[in-house]
Structure 1
Amino acid sequence: MALHLPPLLLLLFLRLSGLVHGTTDPPDVSALNDLYRSLNSPSQLTGWSSSGGDPCGNDWQGIKCSGSSVTEIILSGLGLTGTIGYQLSSLTSVTYFDLSKNNLHGDIPYQLPPNAIHIDLSGNVFTGGISYSISQMTDLNYLNLANNQLSGQLTDMFRKLPSLSLLDLSFNHFSGTLPQSFGSLSSLKTLRLQNNQFSGSLGVLATLSLDDLNVQNNQFTGWIPNKLKSIDDFKIDGNSWSSGPAPPGMSTAADSNGGSSSMYNKQTAGLKGAAIAVIVIAVLVVILILMAFAKRRSSVSSYYMEEQFSQNRSFTPLVDNEFAGVKDTSSVGLKATETAATALKEPFADTQKSFTDNDFANTFNSRRNTDLISFPTYSLADLQAATLNFSSSSLLGQGNIGQVYKAKFADGKVLAVKKIETLNLSGRCSHDFMEIVSDIFKLHHPNITELLGYCSEPDYQFLIYEFQQNGSLHGFLHLSDDYSRPLTWETRVRIALGTARAVEYLHEVHSPSVIHKNIKSSNILLDAELNPHLADCGLAPFFEDTNENLGPGYNAPECTKPSAYTRKSDVYSFGVIMLELLTGRKPFDSSKPRIEQSLVRWVAPQLHDIDTLERMADPALHGLYPPKSLSRFADIVALCIQLEPEFRPAMSEVVQALVHCVHCTSINKRIGGDLGASRRSDDSDSGYY
């Protein structure tokens, strides 16, 4: 007997059937929508949409599906621009992911398709390092990141990739030695590392069964393992191989690369005589130096030796190879009081600085002081025109001493203008304002927002700064959703380290030492590449007559009045910012349960419990972080937020500890640049404070 359904019910049934069989899984649709927007909504991707749609049912270009799940994304050579978004981890069924030969930029995000077998991102302009999520892709067979601008040292992230057959990192800017986890790549057949700056030996590759190995044009040294000589396609030219007799199990480059052996032998033969001459000259120079030293030894005073030691105290340089020689110690993981007492001893007290340090710094700065006859000035009329007469549409934020406006000038420049409220001058005359301006102009560091000019007229004082297009760290952490403005763990640690370098410069490098007194997340501005720039440096004189310079939750316990602020108070405030980066929470949040309103009080007792720590980590991270890095980060926080100021570390020690933290995070992006350089950006609107 046939089943007769009413026409309306039959139509509803057919529609539901169509949804079941033709509609793509919602998480896949959302991820592809985000990818499309991140690629600047390219017209060449036919069928794609920035919201909604049916990739599997409506034939989106480059998308292949199985049922309702997206399984392949192939968008190679389409001239695509932009970035690749931050929702790719939702594509759990994607096994083939190819965006090669485009013009994509930015970091490779953590959130790549987690079950991918084939990933090809070659031929783009990606920067930073290798995504940490790749270390968890146990089925990954093919990884091609060649011809990008990736940099830094590879971390030990290859232990869980037993299926990886091809790894191509060629034509990038990677440096440092090869990680020991390369030895775990038991299925690897093709390894291409040419045209980087890798160094050290190839010993870690000796256990692999490779068919194709290219290490040309790097900085490798030592001898070639004999086991690599049997590789069918083996290219080694353009390195600094050892030429002497090879130890057992090793061979020279000439023995391992027959095609270049004759040229190699000619070079080594020609070098032998030169090497002998260099050795003889070096010995003679050493003898002369020793004789001169012995002759002058008695005339060198102990004061001079003391002065040299003081002037040459350690300061962490901003260089790419800063991880070289860093030992993987566990001292940072000790209890806060034990670590503070042993591993993090402050080089000098807050209340004093050695005479020789001041003398050296003043001598260094004296040349600059003679040039500070005039500073770049802006007229009030120009500022009014650039800010639409300081209209609300140009307002970026409200700070403690006045408003900040976005100023667009006729020549196309975009700057930030801080309007100083006259009440905050506390009766100071314009001459004192100029002294403050002069002091700020002397601050030069890539992680400090640079002062570009000023305006001083009766009843009006303005400071003009470089504009940072991504607004403040506060805005990223507390005023945006997880997907529109995400911060990966790598980026968070990089922001912490860059900010720590800025405070280290203020406290321990600049002379006289500068106490910031207003360190908070709204004063950490982010440029186009999310590098941090500390704002409001040198403005502490405006806070001398107020106790309300910091927002709730940032003040150190001892700061009951302005005169109580020390460098250790800045360290405490910096520790609170690290807590914000760790948890994604505000320092004080009245909407939380009473026990959780004060972030420091809630978190501090739990910082050494790894299980609790992972539960407190910002949910926006989606668990994508190296646990070891998270734990070390928390250890540094515990030291910075101690109740007793004397137990908090100096900022130079915090920088060193964060470098250790970076070492166990896949941060390969350059942090902060050189001391004399500063990145600037003058685009877009974002929240300023």
Structure 2
Amino acid sequence: MGYTNSVLHVRIFVISMVILTGTFCLGETDPVDVAAISSLYVALGSPPLLGWKAVGGDPCLELWQGVACVFSNITAIRLGGMNLGGELGTNLDFPSIIEIDLSDNHIGGAIPFTLPPTLRSLSLSKNLLNGSIPDAFSLLTQLSNLGLASNNLSGQLPSSMGSLSSLTALELQNNQLSGTLNILQDLPIQNLDIENNLFFGPIPPKLLTIPTFRKDGNPFNTTIIPSPPAAAPSLVDMAPSPEGSPWNGANSPFSLTAPIHASSKKSFIAKNVIWIAAAGFSIFIALGICLFMLLCFKRRPEKKNSKKLDVGVYVKPLSKPTCSDTVSEVTDPEEKGQGYGLSHLQPPPHSLPTIPCEKVIINPAITTKVTNGQVMTSSIKVYTVASLQQYTNSFAQENCIGEGTLGSVYRAELPDGKLLAVKKLNATASMDQNDEQFLQLVSSISKIQHANIAKLVGYCAEYGQRLLVYEYYSNGTLHDALHGDDEHCIKLPWNARIRAALGAARALEYLHESFRPPIVHRNFRSANVLLNEKLEVFVSDCGLGPLLSSGSAGQLSGRLLTSYGYSAPEFESGSYTQQSDVFSFGVIMLELLTGRKSYDRSLPRGEQFLVRWAVPKLHDIDALSRMVDPCLNGAYPMKSLSRFADIVSSCIQREPEFRPAMSEIVQDLLLML
């Protein structure tokens, strides 16, 4: 009986473990991971990898090829030697990934400017990558293995490589990298290969102690950096003697095979005297120049911020603190080590000097004032990374309220309780813009002022991060209101839907016909239509077209618009105009009319794309009645419904020239209220 009980207990234990394991393994993949891996798949050119999809899917549950997971998070992507092409894109925002191995492929383009801070191993060797190595390593303090060998990389090593405090293996051989190796000298590297590059200058002595150091094929100086001499030798001591000279040996290139005569001694001493005199004279001249420049700067402090650009006064670099207040805020011990990795965003303390405050003026006509690390203007504020990290609880996942083509959006709560929405631009959105261009973009967006457009209240451009800060709207997006679960779904009566369409139409009318120069939205969909507590409409992402007009971000945005059923037919040929915005607006009106998503793969194939399914029904009154959102329960005037359908039909005409201007649509909707 005892043996039977023991067997029974073992069986119960095994069954329990199977149930528990099954419970943990059935979770869906983190949506952030899904967005990142879908973006990577598109950037790689949609290769034939088992299970991979451009939109949607569940990489962990469906066991995508080369993907490893822990519970719901992707922790590794191993696709070395898979004959992959395309590019890496710029959205590698995997929140928990540890290893990425894409070595021995044919991947081109640049290395992304944003890399996951959780990485421990990154192998991109033996590809076709080009350009410089981005300054993207400030947060990667866990990275131990970095392989970039056998590519077409050029330029100098970025300063952020000095933050790789766990790096033990670095492979950079067979590139066109240049500059010195000083940035690597304090890292715990055990295996360093830099062969066949263009590195120059003296080799730091610390690197020569690395157990495995391959350096052939570089135009290095033949000497290493010398240690400071204990004392300067006298002129007489410098004269060589036939027996005591350190240069006088069989293996020395300066070895002498004959006795040194007195004339040789005199010649040697004379040459050294000349060199010492020349060096002394050079030092004297250099000191004189430094003293002169110092006096000039002391006499002209008012010239410091005199250089003006189109967007006003701008002093580079924005990525560093501009005053002591900012520095003290960044280095606040209460804000170190939080989820966003601020303790690794800042340079080491010895390289953070306190420097005078410098103004950043977006509009020359607007006066500015520095207060608690923020540059205050009459229109927008310049936030520090530290303050936004504090307000978003280190950009915690629970505060993430949206994922878009350009980046993630987080809820931020200020000390006074006010809520803001912070859009953290990913590298895809900002790789083609320098600091000056980003400021110009911020300046342009700040001028967009309309009752139905989300208002920009501030921005951040610090430590390589670019963030836009908007007013917060409590009822989320129109997409969630129409298609969300019970928690997010909002019951919108017929008149509320007309008002929502009118608000969105007025926003586009302003962008197309009132603002100068006119703006094409380029990413108009229900997920970018926000609602406040009164169900008033505010269109987001206005003025961000320049971030979507070229490069990987534009390609990804275009594919998403197409995949989700918002893109006009002409977009397939690369054309996007104001009339393309009108088409996308018509799709949103269809969502309001039917309660259906613009694209829903859960429906039968013929009904998945909303426009394709709805067009034949818009002018058949019986079919139109059957396609109305059941949530309305028939509570709408039939005449109003028919008029609404007519506006939709005019917006989604196949030929752009047949679609109406937004001002006409606004007038038609006003007549319906």
Question: Same fold per TM (> 0.5)?
Answer: no
Higher RCO (CA < 8 A, seq sep 6+): 1
Short-chain TM bin: 0.3 to 0.5
